[in-house]
Amino acid sequence: MILAILTISLMAGLFGLILGYAAIRFKVEGNPVVDQIDSLLPQTQCGQCTYAGCRPYAEAIANGEAPINQCPPGGQSTIVALADLLGTEVLELNAEHGEHLEVPLVAIIDEQTCIGCTLCIQACPVDAILGAAKHMHTVIEDECTGCKLCLPPCPVDCIEMIPSVQTIDDWKWSTPRDQLELLKDA
Amino acid sequence: MTSVIVSSPYVAPVNSLKRLMIQVIVALLPGTLAYAWQFGPGVLINICLAILFALGFEAGILKLRAKPVMPHLTDFSAVVAAWLFALCLPMHAPWWLVLVGIGFAMVAGKHLYGGLGFNPFNPAMVGYVALLISFPREMTTWYLPGSISGETLGLADAFSYTFGGADIQQWDALTSATPLDQLKTGIGLNIAIDEIRQAPLFGEFGGKGWEWIAFWWVVGGLWLLVTRTIRWHIPVALLGGMLVISSAFYLIDPDIYASPLFHLLSGAAVIGAFFIATDPVTAATTDKGRIIYGLLIGLLIYVIRVWGGFPDGVAFAVLLANMCVPLIDYYSQPRVYGEK
Amino acid sequence: MPKLHHFHGGLHLDGHKAESLTQGLQQATLPERLYLPLRQHIGQYNKPLVDVGNKVLKGHVVAANSSLIRAAVHAPSSGTVSAIGKYPIAHPSGQSDDCIVIDIDGKDEAADPHIKDLTQLSPPELIELICRAGIVGLGGAAFPASPKIARGKTNGIDTLIINGVECEPYITCDDILMRSYADEVVRGSGYLQQILSPKTTLIAIEDNKPEAISSMSKALKDNSLANTELVSIPTIYPSGGEKQLIQVLTGKEVPHGQLAFDIGFFCQNVGTCVAITRALEQDQPLISRIVTISGDNIARPGNWETRLGTPISHLIELAGGYRQGDRGHLIMGGPMMGFALSGSQVPIVKASNNIMVTREETIARTPGYHDECIRCSKCTEVCPAQLLPQQLYWHTRAKAYDRTEEFHLFNCIECGCCSAVCPSQIPLVQYYRAAKSEIRATQKAQFKSDRARIRFEFREKRLLLKKQQDEERRRLKREALNKKRATSDETDSATDPVQAALERVKARKKAIQEEST
Ligand code: SF4
Ligand code: SF4
Ligand code: SF4
Ligand code: SF4
């Protein structure tokens, strides 16, 4: 009896030491979890998740303050990837935050109406709008993330969100199984 | 109708499940006929019954699962499973034994896992083992091949014991254990193998009558190889494995261990090697993996026969090896083009 | 003759080549209109260099770009640009893409050629001429020739392989090309030798093309190329694939992640050699190619030398129309690796080696439905890339795309052998294509989000910096002001000017009030 207790405490102590040593030996600097989460988020920087951008949301997830289903631009695939990374359950996208669009949006500025106020430039999180004061502005389509943050500040409502142009290169083969689903639905 | 884009290749398919299964059925014919010739038409009745029940179960479950019924029934996979299952049964099996066994095979062995392609265990063997465990007496009494008793039961007799509930024991003179069974009992009683093999049940190499059936199974197996329905890896590894281990023990002590030829030619070794272990769904998929898989079954058969509690071990060996398949497949992946 | 080797798997297929070889090479007539897709190669889109209404001569550049992997598009005949816009093109999606439409004037007037003395030119100059001619690999992949040659030149080439294998069923355009233009093939190989200076050159032809072999060996003798050998290789599909051909000829494998020229091999199709010869000797850009029309629903199968941009309907007319009914199912490329076309208005492009016209039922599998995989491994036995197709299939089905990559999805050459032999008749290649496009889309999205992150972080930094600078500026100003105030306090005993002004205002208000009362 005593021997058993002794052995077990000894083993517990030993493993404790090993774990403690490993924790020091393999300590990782910084907070890579935030980086990893951030790298899975779509970087639209739209704030639909109620945070001021993707990174703050990533921090909130890492701190356990936010669930993983608040990012509409990322949609289900991002949720799955996050669940995979964090080892948590896969959730449905929370509809309160918005709806996932298959084809991302881009902003276009109606260049006739634009008065060159620069307000949209200040709002754009990724510097995707070009222009100078009192000159017409334009959106660099490739850089626009479709976050819609430039819409509210525009005093003349000249910015519109349109589905981004899908070229022939964006076309995807679908699997016979998915096709079968399609046929069934039709 | 929504039009869908279908990818290349745009050539008529060269293979089909149906073709594959028909090849297997063709290959089973000579052995089955030899079997019937030796043991009477009972086996044919069993096969027909099993096929009928199997198709019934298959159709019923497919309906329940809301799957297309006809394409699956006509791929003949259920027919092959039922055929192999029926070959494992004793000739005098009553109809309900067939029903229970094939039912278990189709429902628990196949469809509960998701149907053809998803079942990890060989359905025919699942059904057989279920019966062997539940009804050991019915499953282990065999009767003498015609070449020993001088007569085979006629069709009428066969019907009477399949449907009439007649007990096989009434033909007491005709019943006996299988040669493997007898060997095991004999060795248990410390009788030397040479003496055991004096009994009329034994022939030149294996069990009398059995050895001829084994020969016809081999013919069928070669047909499968020639038509490329199966590859050589599993049968060769399986029989090779048995040969090696049984020779080793035979050399050590021929009094307690039967000769390699006896092991190869009696029981279900040959039909197991060519027809049962080669079931693609439950076998290993890579070349290397198939050799390992075949060897494993060969060794297990021998181990079960010699040291296990059952006279023959093919079914258990196959099921055990089925369990190892994911592991074998994972560790036997071939080298990809351009990779080290 | 070098010792030949085998590649893993492969299939013996019905050739169906005799049908389109009953007639010799024919020249296709000009249609009224040519539709030239802006991009006919692997790489970035070309920009149109002409406007609607412009007159063009045969050989004029009408679209080009300046990226590294590029191939310009030239006017195949003289006429007027009548439209620039979206028209159906040869693409598996069946979608339309940007095209330049030229209304042909029928004169077929060519721009004046500038013919140079080729012996005086350095390899880079020769490569430049090939680049200007817009030449791409004519075997079907349409990879621009000049960047490939340039890479080969920098890497150093040991063996030059001229690919006249043509292993897919039905296609005979390279066969007829070698019969008709053997001299030009050999001279083109000579120019490649001049640029790449390989140790040996192998011209590989499948042994089911005896006539091509004999005319090529005659041309070889006539032109006396150094260290060049004609190799007849066994007919087995897909021996014409670059990697498989290298394996057959040398037994070597191209290591994963590398290309043929990384290990000293350079493959070029025989058709490309002819295009190179014409570009260098006659200053003729790539404006036509030989197209096989074949299949069971075309009246007169054969080979036509066709201007690029010719609608397929025009070729079908030349070939005597459909055998049955008024339409056929059209496939561009061979039956193993080709793709279905949306209709006969699609134009011939640089990659169009073959147009298969079939009755619908000869190719149709019920779309979508197939039996389940029975793990028989027949697919593994035939896979020339030595993959485990059934594993790829299971993981694609489960949408576990990262697992498909572990099973080397991107090593799959989409040869179709696995689909052809699968007893469950699973369209395996379609699963792989779906998985590949899914993975590529994810990578693209990842690329975009990475960029967005960088730009976002850059902006944050910039804003922070601006804020700091602003604060710094304000602080300096305040300090300066304070200093000034301090000094003015010392020199002048007067109070703060604002205070003083306020007091003045107060005083005046008071005075007014007093006056009024
Ligand atoms: S909702 Fe918008 S800001 Fe929030 S994580 Fe998603 S993309 Fe980034
Ligand atoms: S242009 Fe507008 S929608 Fe696009 S990223 Fe900038 S703020 Fe967002
Ligand atoms: S050939 Fe078809 S059924 Fe056989 S393993 Fe491959 S995918 Fe599965
Ligand atoms: S299509 Fe891909 S997986 Fe199938 S045989 Fe060809 S290379 Fe192998």
The predicted structure's pLDDT at residue B340: 74
Task: Tell me the pTM.
Answer: 0.86
A182 and B2 in contact by Cβ < 8 A? yes
Tell me which residue in C13, C337, C387 faces B8 most closely, judged by beta carbons.
C337
C413 C-beta closer than 6 A to ligand 4: yes
More confident of the two residues C492 and C168: C168
C93 and A177 in contact by Cβ < 8 A? no
- The answer to whether residue B66 neighbours chain A at the CB level (below 8 Å) is no
ipTM value > 0.90: no
The predicted structure's pLDDT at residue B2: 43
The per-residue pLDDT for range B64-89, each reduced to its tens digit, is 988 888 888 888 999 999 999 999 88
A183 and B7 in contact by Cβ < 8 A? no
CA of C451 to the centre of ligand 2 (A): 14
Region C135-156 average pLDDT: 90
The per-residue pLDDT for range C74-120, each reduced to its tens digit, is 999 999 999 999 999 999 988 899 999 999 998 888 888 888 888 88
**pLDDT surpassing 50 at residue B1:** no
**Nearest residue in C to B338, CA atom:** C255
The predicted structure's pLDDT at residue B214: 86
Tell me which residue in B2, B5, B6 faces A186 most closely, judged by beta carbons.
B2
A105 C-beta closer than 6 A to ligand 2: no
The predicted structure's pLDDT at residue B280: 92
**Nearest residue in C to B285, CA atom:** C377
The per-residue pLDDT for range C251-279, each reduced to its tens digit, is 999 998 888 989 999 999 999 999 999 99
Buried b (16+ CB within 10 A) or exposed e, A143-159: bbbbbbbbeeebeeebb
| Helix and strand element counts for chain B (H, E) | 17, 2
The per-residue pLDDT for range B218-248, each reduced to its tens digit, is 999 999 999 999 999 999 999 999 999 999 9
Q: What is the mean pLDDT of chain C?
A: 90
Instruction: Give the residue from C98, C101, C103 showing the smallest Cα distance to C40.
Output: C98
CA of A128 to the centre of ligand 2 (A): 6
**pLDDT surpassing 70 at residue B336:** yes
Hey, which residues 125-184 in chain A have their CB within 8 Å of chain B? 173-174, 176, 179, 182-183
CA distance B65 to chain A (A): 17
C177 C-beta closer than 6 A to ligand 4: no
* DSSP-derived 3-state class of residue B154: coil
A42 and C449 in contact by Cβ < 8 A? yes
What residues does each domain of chain B span?
15-176, 178-330
More confident of the two residues C386 and C488: C386
Tell me which residue in C337, C390, C419 faces B285 most closely, judged by beta carbons.
C390
Chain A residues whose C-beta is within 8 A of a chain C C-beta are: 38-39, 41-45, 53-54, 77, 125-128, 143, 145, 167-168, 170-180, 182-183
- The answer to whether residue B7 neighbours chain A at the CB level (below 8 Å) is yes
CA of C409, nearest ligand number: 4
C383 C-beta closer than 6 A to ligand 4: yes
The predicted structure's pLDDT at residue C507: 80
The predicted structure's pLDDT at residue A90: 87
Residues of A within 8 A of B117 (CB-CB) are none
CB C163 within 8 A of CB C245: yes
Query: Minimum mean pLDDT among B208-212, B304-308, C207-211: which range?
Result: B208-212
The predicted structure's pLDDT at residue B218: 93
- What is the percent of chain C where pLDDT is above 90? 65
A186 and B7 in contact by Cβ < 8 A? no
**pLDDT surpassing 60 at residue B165:** no
- Provide the residue type at C429 as one letter: V
What residues does each domain of chain A span?
32-97, 105-165
**pLDDT surpassing 60 at residue A179:** yes
The Cα C416–Cα C13 span in angstroms is 12
The Cα B335–Cα B339 span in angstroms is 7
**pLDDT surpassing 90 at residue B27:** yes
Query: Minimum mean pLDDT among B139-153, C365-379, C438-452: which range?
Result: B139-153
CA of A46, nearest ligand number: 1
The per-residue pLDDT for range A38-51, each reduced to its tens digit, is 888 989 888 898 98
Q: Regarding beta strands C288-294 and C265-269, do their DSSP bridges make them parallel or antiparallel, or are they unpaired?
A: unpaired
Cα distances from B292 to residues B40, B306, B312, in angstroms, run 37, 21, 21
Atom of ligand 1 nearest to the CA of A53: 3
CB B221 within 8 A of CB B227: no
The fold for domain A105-165 equals: Alpha-Beta Plaits (3.30.70)
Query: Minimum mean pLDDT among A14-28, A165-179, B137-151, C469-483: which range?
Result: B137-151
CB C174 within 8 A of CB C271: yes
Region C385-391 average pLDDT: 93
Region B192-209 average pLDDT: 62
The predicted structure's pLDDT at residue C490: 61
Region C19-43 average pLDDT: 92
- Pairs of CB atoms within 8 A across A/B: 13
Which chains would you list as touching C if contact means 3+ CB atom pairs under 8 Å? Answer: A, B
Query: Which band of pLDDT confidence, cut at 50, 70 and 90, is reported for residue C71?
Result: very high
The per-residue pLDDT for range A114-156, each reduced to its tens digit, is 888 888 888 898 888 888 777 778 888 888 998 889 899 988 8
Atom of ligand 4 nearest to the CA of C419: 4
Axis-axis angle for helices C182-196, C270-282 (nearest 10): 80
- Choose, out of C13, C377, C397, the residue to mutate when testing the contact with B (most B CBs < 10 Å): C377
**pLDDT surpassing 70 at residue B167:** no
The domain A32-97 is placed in CATH, from the list 3.30.1380.10, 1.20.5.510, 1.10.15.40, 3.30.70.100, at: 1.10.15.40
Closest protein CA for atom 2 of ligand 4: C412
Domains (ranges, CATH) in chain C?
Answer: 18-108+115-307 (3.40.50.11540), 378-517 (no CATH)
Instruction: Give the residue from C150, C148, C143, C149 showing the smallest Cα distance to C42.
Output: C143
In 3-state terms chain A splits into helix, strand, coil percentages (rounded to 5) of 40, 10, 50
The predicted structure's pLDDT at residue B162: 64
The Cα C318–Cα C26 span in angstroms is 10
The predicted structure's pLDDT at residue C102: 95
Buried b (16+ CB within 10 A) or exposed e, C234-246: ebbbbbbbbbbbb
The per-residue pLDDT for range C311-363, each reduced to its tens digit, is 999 999 999 999 887 777 899 999 999 999 988 999 999 999 999 998 877 66
Q: Where are the beta strands (DSSP E) in chain B?
A: 142-143, 175-176
Query: Which band of pLDDT confidence, cut at 50, 70 and 90, is reported for residue B172?
Result: very low
The per-residue pLDDT for range C464-474, each reduced to its tens digit, is 998 999 999 99
